[in-house]
Amino acid sequence: MLLPVTTDPRHRGHPDGCPYQEQRRRLLGEIEDEVRKTREYLGTDTLDPRVMSALGSIPRHEFVPEGSRHLAYENSPLPIGHGQTISQPYIVAVMTHLLEIRPDDAILEIGTGCGYQTAVLAELATSVYSIEYVPELARDAAARLARLGYRNIELRTGDGSLGWPEAAPFDGIIVTAAAQRVPLALVAQLKAGRRMVLPIGRAREEQELSIVVGGQRGPVVARPILPVAFVPLKGG
């Protein structure tokens, strides 16, 4: 089911006279500190400044339940209902950085959730296609992203493991739930030389945030980057 967030030219404004500016600045500092602490995993001690700018501009408090808004700028995941979470901002920043997004890119996201990661992607790419398995989360995310002014996002409810074949190939794919193995249907929708970033592993067991590069000859190789913990990918 398609949801009404259009792919018209993007709009960067947010209806946000934000009372959380200091909290946002503190959060960005905490992310920078954590990146430095994990540089041996990441291979860098700084992230793409465009990614950090996107995180600094997006009102994360708009993406969490009302009762959790006082925690919105903590560097931690938060529950959003239906057994799902909004990811830790550090992880959002790292996954987005690893995608190496270019301004003209079309990005596929598997697992819209509350739409926060979707908004980060939309700040950096020309178009974002996002699939959510839980209809209630998908509807709420579509309404939220439209209210915040995003016009370069298209949302769908369904089995994300199948991807979005009619919009493929994509310049990047991000999966925000843990797959037990690399989803080959998604690899087939990735442009040669571009990246898919996803956690691989079973729920409540060791998972690795990994990079898969499209257009590889022979077996698909997932390069592990960082130990993580995500909810399981739903669907086939």
Confirm whether 26 is domain-assigned: yes
- Mean pLDDT computed over 104-115: 97
Confirm whether 63 is domain-assigned: yes
Average pLDDT of every residue of the chain? 90
When divided into structural domains, the chain yields a total of 1
- Residue 226 pairs in a beta bridge with 209
Residues carrying an active site annotation = 87
102 half-sphere exposure, CB direction, 13 A CA radius: 7
Confirm whether 6 is domain-assigned: no
* Residue 215: pLDDT band with limits 50, 70, 90: confident
pLDDT attached to residue 234: 84
* Residue 91: pLDDT band with limits 50, 70, 90: very high
Confirm whether 70 is domain-assigned: yes
- Mean pLDDT computed over 209-214: 95
Confirm whether 7 is domain-assigned: no
Tabulate helix, strand, coil % of the chain (nearest 5).
35, 25, 40
Q: Which residue has the higher pLDDT, 120 or 21?
A: 120
Q: Which amino acid would we find at residue 32?
A: E
Q: What is the DSSP string of 111-130?
A: --TTSHHHHHHHHHSSEEEE
* Residue 228: pLDDT band with limits 50, 70, 90: very high
Confirm whether 234 is domain-assigned: no
Confirm whether 11 is domain-assigned: no
- Mean pLDDT computed over 37-47: 96
Intra-chain end-to-end CA distance of the chain, in Å: 17
Cis previous bond, 169, omega within 30: yes
What's phi and psi for 38, nearest 5 deg?
-110, 20
* Residue 10: pLDDT band with limits 50, 70, 90: very low
CATH for 109: 3.40.50.150
Spatial contact of 212 and 199, defined as CB atoms under 8 Å apart: no
How do beta strands 153-157 and 2-3 pair?
antiparallel
* Residue 94: pLDDT band with limits 50, 70, 90: very high
Tell whether the model's pLDDT for residue 54 goes beyond 70: yes
Confirm whether 39 is domain-assigned: yes
Furthest CA-CA distance within the chain = 52
pLDDT attached to residue 15: 45
Residue 117's domain comprises 19-228
Spatial contact of 54 and 124, defined as CB atoms under 8 Å apart: yes
Tell whether the model's pLDDT for residue 73 goes beyond 80: yes
Query: How far from 133 is each of 109, 112, 155, 159, 172, CA to CA, in Å?
Result: 12, 8, 11, 6, 20
* Residue 173: pLDDT band with limits 50, 70, 90: very high
Spatial contact of 209 and 224, defined as CB atoms under 8 Å apart: yes
* Residue 236: pLDDT band with limits 50, 70, 90: low
- Mean pLDDT computed over 113-117: 97
pLDDT attached to residue 6: 45
